[in-house]
Amino acid sequence: MRFCLPILLLAAPSVARAADAFHFENDILPILGRHGCNASGCHGKAEGQGGFKLSVFASDPEADYAALTKEGRGRRVFATAPDESLFLRKASGRIAHGGGTKIVFGGEDYRVLRDWITAGMPVGSPEAPRVISLRVEPVERVLGQKAEQQLKVFAKYSDGTEKDVTRHARFQSNTEAVASVSAHGTVSTRDVPGEAAVMAAYLGEVGLFRVLVPHPKPLAASRLPQFNLIDKLVDAKLAKLNVAPSGLCDDADFLRRVFLDLTGTLPTPEEARKFLADTSKDKRAKLVGALLDRPEFADLWALRWADLLRVDRQPLGHQRTLLYYKWIRDSIATNKPFDEFARELVTAEGPVTEVGPANFFKVVTKPGEVAGTVSQVFLGVRIACAECHHHPFDRWKQSDYYGMTAFFAGGTTTHPRTKKAVYAHALGTDMPTADPTGDRRLPLAEWMTKPDNAFFARNLSNRVWAWMLGRGLVEPVDDVRATNPPSNPELLDALARFTVESKYDVRKLIVLITSSRVYQSSATPNATNEKDERNFSRAYFKRPDAEVMLDMICQSLGVPEKFAGSPGITRAVQLWDSKARSDFLKLFGRPNRVTACDCERTREPSVSQVLNLLNSTEIQAKLTHESGTVANLVRAHKDDAKLVEELYLTFYARLPNADESAVGVKHLKKYPDNRRAATEDLAWALMNSTEFLFNH
């Protein structure tokens, strides 16, 4: 064995600790976690890295100890020559390491690892205190823009002691645009007013720091009206941020917005004229009530739940998929209370050719996958990663995952690491001493839909809010956790209380939201809220879902789409078969329904989408169709100004202003011999505008 004298001299200053002073889980694993050694992108991934595998985020200490001290023919650590241990040489960058230098040679972490190796790599006493919680100081602060705050993290142990573990904690901000955090726990605010939550994680426990960053210039009190509790709670948050809300949108914007949000359709020119001419004070409320009763409302909202509940022809076939979908749509059309809807699905039984919701268990077949899907869809909680390891950003452990899994398992569920039985118990509850008798799904459904459930009503409220406002109070909507708090906790709590008091009537919740000034806000920003993307100080532009976008184009151009294998269906929103072929829907982000994640539907614009809208031969064919909107309008209106007016009502649900009318008329008059082609060009330009392609 070769030794390097300079290395030994540099590493010498520490005093070796006795073997009984070390505990592998408490002393060594935090170092590996702090430097990312057991992260999923390094040695923690499924196949490991470079022949060395660690459990993700130290979820299996016993396996980690064996991998470090026994695998690789024992050559990773040398008690007799600790500095020559392959583990230390690679980590300190003294020999080639794919992950680069992780630990400073001679530094404190290096010395702890070396002394542990020198002491014979002890595991430590099984009776040693364990970390049970984290505390972050400060808990919250109001900081100016471009300011800094150093965090301190304290771990509380099972014996009541506390230890400063800041050096080995992992940090993450949930809103980088407002505040970022360094690897050492220094929070740096940016020039965007808002709020951020910074997570600190250590040995499977998490803590939170919240920072409020107000606009630098205090504002005068807002004089905008407050229509209901939503406005009061949003305004209270905005006042803390010194952010002024935008004013009310005009009738045309509200008309188009609520049509798209509730039915996925555009108002017809006749509907637009009637609404814009109506002078009654309650016309917006009456419009919402009328839209909720339309069959198009059930079509659109059935599509949304069919995505999440995985109405998928591939595992079910046509007949059972249609039965499953019809149950969802009929539930929405009859305004079935959402708690009843959830109970029917979770406890469904009977022939899958007769009982629609029973097909859920034919799409999602494995007990663990069922538990994960139910948690994500109805509770907004992602537990799937806890199948293999402690959730890296939340409190859920493997025992919580298998506790939920046990509700759907036919036999006894066993913890894969401890090999002990795990009995059915819901998230956040204590494990009983035995599984429930009879159908285990019944107590789960009862717990899930109780009025005091901490997840169910909040999840429903958050999802409906996101569908109406463009983003959730918790975002992503299906990632509820302590380290991803809502942007306005008081508002989410209030919406959840309203939902419970309304007996889970989704339409009443929609009425509450649409009657607020917040929903009716203008999308035009002011100097204080132009960078706000989380606090609903203005209306946010929303990219319509792929099906809605296609229907908007077909409706505006007056030519329905034909869907192969789906006779009688003329609107994409009505497609119950997510596998029905459509290049447009695929391009614009229709989900395949292979997971319950809301993220499966993509809404980000792309160059391919822009090119499709500009150059599609299918859209061109609809635009120039002899029975289409443009041809009919050209034949019906000889007056150019009237023709331009009808085009604006068709595409934008509003009348053109004087300048827009003048530009349109001027364009048409340039081509008196080919007026129809000129009108087609104008229609194409309107259809490719931001105003048409986004809900605002």
The answer on pLDDT for 9 being more than 70 is: no
pLDDT of the residue at 13: 43
- Residues with Cβ within 8 Å of residue 267, at least 6 apart in sequence: 255, 256, 259, 275, 653
The answer on pLDDT for 522 being more than 60 is: yes
Instruction: Give the C-alpha separation, 189 to 212, whole Å.
Output: 9
Mean pLDDT of 66-86: 83
Mean pLDDT of 238-267: 97
Question: Percent of the chain scored above 70 by pLDDT?
Answer: 95
Q: Where are the alpha helices (DSSP H) in 375-529?
A: 398-405, 441-448, 456-469, 489-501, 506-514
For 283-305, the pLDDT digits (tens) are 999 999 999 999 999 999 999 99
Structure tokens at 138: 């400060």
131: number of Cβ within 10 Å: 18
pLDDT of the residue at 509: 98
pLDDT of the residue at 388: 65
Structure tokens at 378: 């109805």
For 79-106, the pLDDT digits (tens) are 888 888 888 898 888 888 877 888 888 8
Per-domain boundaries in the chain = 5-118, 131-213, 546-570+578-588+605-696
pLDDT of the residue at 3: 34
Mean pLDDT of 276-287: 97
Instruction: Give the C-alpha separation, 45 to 28, whole Å.
Output: 19
The answer on pLDDT for 460 being more than 60 is: yes
Count each helix (H run) and each strand (E run) in the chain, helices first: 29, 12
Helix (H, G, I), strand (E, B) or coil at 179: strand
Q: Which of 210, 204, 185, 209 is nearest to 394 (CA)?
A: 204
- pTM score, two decimals? 0.88
394: number of Cβ within 10 Å: 22
Lowest mean pLDDT among 51-60, 236-245, 254-263, 469-478: 51-60
For 415-442, the pLDDT digits (tens) are 887 889 999 999 989 999 999 999 999 9
The answer on pLDDT for 73 being more than 70 is: no
Evaluate whether 338 touches 329 at the Cβ level (below 8 Å). no
Helix 338-346 to helix 456-469 angle, to the nearest 10 degrees? 120
Omega before 451 cis (within 30°)?
no
Comparing 55 with 583, the larger pLDDT belongs to: 583
**112, HSE (Cβ side, Cα atoms, 13 Å):** 16
pLDDT of the residue at 301: 98
CA–chain centroid gap for 474, Å, is: 8
The answer on pLDDT for 6 being more than 80 is: no
The answer on pLDDT for 510 being more than 60 is: yes
Answer left, alpha or beta for residue 370, where phi above 0 means left and psi between -120 and 50 means alpha.
alpha
The answer on pLDDT for 452 being more than 70 is: yes
Average pLDDT, the chain: 91
Instruction: Please state which of the four CATH numbers 2.120.10.30, 2.60.40.10, 1.10.3720.10, 3.90.25.10 is assigned to the domain occupying 131-213.
Output: 2.60.40.10
For 372-430, the pLDDT digits (tens) are 999 999 999 998 877 665 656 666 788 889 999 999 998 999 988 788 999 999 998 99
Structure tokens at 353: 């050719």
Question: Percent of the chain scored above 90 by pLDDT?
Answer: 74
